[in-house]
Amino acid sequence: MNKLIKGDQVIVLTGRDKGKTGKIALRVDDERVVVEGVNLVKKHVKPNPMKGETGGIVEKSMPIHQSNLAIFNTATGKADRVSIKVDESAAKGKRRVRVYKSSGDAIKVA
């Protein structure tokens, strides 16, 4: 189970976008994710008349390594770590749940 998943609210810990928050939009591979509004680059795009696309300069979110991110705890307003706890009270038997390290509260999936 990955500790950061699509839809989580995260905060950037290092780099030029340090302190920015955003939602995880896409998981590129095991280690990299795309976060909305973070790691924006300007990309020069050629026009493609077959698809009806115009050319120009487009801002695009690029992948960022998940080690540079932390989950954003809305209750405290700070970055937090994620722990995985086995919930045995579930109806279907054992179920793994993600919880905040600082408080032990379960992380709600958006």
The pLDDT-based confidence of 13 (bands split at 50, 70, 90) is very high
Rounded average pLDDT over 83-107: 83
Average pLDDT, the chain: 90
Fold of 9-80: SH3 type barrels. (2.30.30)
Domain assignments of the chain as residue spans, ordered by start: 9-80
> Rounded to an integer, what distance in angstroms lies between the CA atom of residue 43 and that of residue 85?
42
DSSP annotation string for 56-97: EEEEEE--EEGGGEEEEETTTTEEE-EEEEEETTSTTS-EEE
| pLDDT single digits (tens) 20-71 | 999 999 999 989 999 999 999 999 999 999 999 899 999 999 999 999 999 9
* C-alpha distances out from residue 67 to 9, 12, 15, 81, 104, Å: 15, 9, 11, 11, 21
